[in-house]
Amino acid sequence: MQNLTINPQRLWDSLMETARIGGTAKGGICRLTLTDLDKGVRDWFRGQCEALGCTVTVDQVGNMFAFKPGKRSDVAPIAMGSHLDTQPTGGKFDGILGVLGGLEVMRTLHDLSYDTNAPLMLVNWTNEEGSRFAPAMLGSGVYAGVFDRAFADSREDRQGVRFADAIESIGYRGEAAPGSVKFGAMFELHIEQGPILEAEQKVVGVVTGVQGMRWYEVECTGREAHTGSTPMNLRANALLGAARVVERVNQIALEHAPSAVGTVGLVEVKPNSRNVIPGHVFFTVDFRHPDDAVLDVMERKLMEAIPAIAKEIGLEAVAKKVWDSPAVRFDAECVAAVRAGTEKAGFPTRDMVSGAGHDAAYIARVAPTTMIFVPCEGGLSHNEAESTTLEECSSGAQVLLNAVLEYDQRFA
């Protein structure tokens, strides 16, 4: 196996170039899935892959697969990939580094006319963030059979736009059936989105799995009334009920510390007028823990608390679980390839479990999979100030290249 080296500056330049597609005044990116901006970065990605001689296939939920032949046509490709969509106030690296790091691997091999034994594939997964269409990781979930296409098509954003209409509007409804574009393994490069690597001065995280995650949507309905003329004891304040549930979510997470986390991240209040008692509140709950049995207990506590709080205030409350992603353990041989690739690069490393959800969590159900983490400043992500360095990005891409080549040796 040759000692191949990626081009750090080229990778960084591509990260900065794509950051202008949906770039914000604060230096981040707002590039929600299946918008015109998403189409713009998809078109750019397709063009870059085709310039390397790759064949790009798009499936019926918009997942993009760039195929590079290998010496052998009788084995499934080794895939790399992540996502190009962002949060409304997202950064330049979350997901994007995984796609562009994989692109840099492809470019390096192309420059040196190096043919792997197995074919290679680079993937851009649709709607990983879930910030426009819930749940998250929708494209990889459909690919892995967790959801069907009809479910994806039926998802609506908060403005009532259906996934099906959005994907048609940008021209990225492909013809390939979900799951029909096969690969034999996948490696996903990503920023850590946490503070551990930076705090321990480690360059690379070898990711052994992903913690379990569950999302819920809750609606509290009370009665709108005038704030000045309605006595406190005669109110049915939907926002008060929501506030008490928010506090209970926090308590439930603390009861299962330090591994559990619980968050209410989206709240919509109606009529949202300063002199009207809120009559309706919609909000979301996000629970995470490495042990699914603990998540069961947390969920039970939440579902007991919501009706009890609603009854006390005279509200109606409806809660539903909209996403359940069980804890995942990654493939031992893929993990070993990352360890070998890190050792070859000479970087200090540590094993870790991902606290955030990633497409790799669903792909692990249908193919050997693992992840590679690099640090991000302060552990900050899902924020316009999200930051990592040229050196950290290039270190991750180099380990990605090394790991793919290490895994490829099984097909020699």
Residues of the binding site for Zn(2+): 83, 94, 129, 190, 382
Please state, in angstroms and rounded to a whole number, the distance separating the CA atoms of residues 71 and 206: 29
Q: Please report, in range form, the residues annotated as the binding site.
A: 83, 94, 129, 190, 382
- CB-based contacts of 383, cutoff 8 Å, min separation 6: 28, 89, 90, 91
CB 210 within 8 A of CB 136: no
- CB-based contacts of 153, cutoff 8 Å, min separation 6: 162, 163, 164
Please state, in angstroms and rounded to a whole number, the distance separating the CA atoms of residues 54 and 62: 17
Q: Which two tokens stand for residue 288?
A: 């995470």
Please state, in angstroms and rounded to a whole number, the distance separating the CA atoms of residues 21 and 40: 7
For the CA atoms of the chain, what is the radius of gyration? 22
Integer angstrom CA distances of residue 262 from 210, 302, 355? 16, 11, 12
Q: Which two tokens stand for residue 162?
A: 């259906």
CB 185 within 8 A of CB 368: yes
Instruction: Bin 394: left if φ > 0, else alpha if -120 < ψ < 50, else beta.
Output: alpha
* Length of the chain in terms of residues written: 412
DSSP label of 280: E
CB 82 within 8 A of CB 99: yes
Q: Which two tokens stand for residue 159?
A: 């403005």
Task: Classify residue 142 as exposed, middle or buried by CB count within 10 Å of its CB (0-12, 13-18, 19+).
Answer: buried
Task: Classify residue 82 as exposed, middle or buried by CB count within 10 Å of its CB (0-12, 13-18, 19+).
Answer: buried
Please state, in angstroms and rounded to a whole number, the distance separating the CA atoms of residues 380 and 273: 33
State the DSSP string of 145-186.
TSS-HHHHHH-B-TT--BHHHHHHHTT---SBPTT-S--SEE
- Number of other residues whose CB lies within 10 A of the CB of residue 355: 18
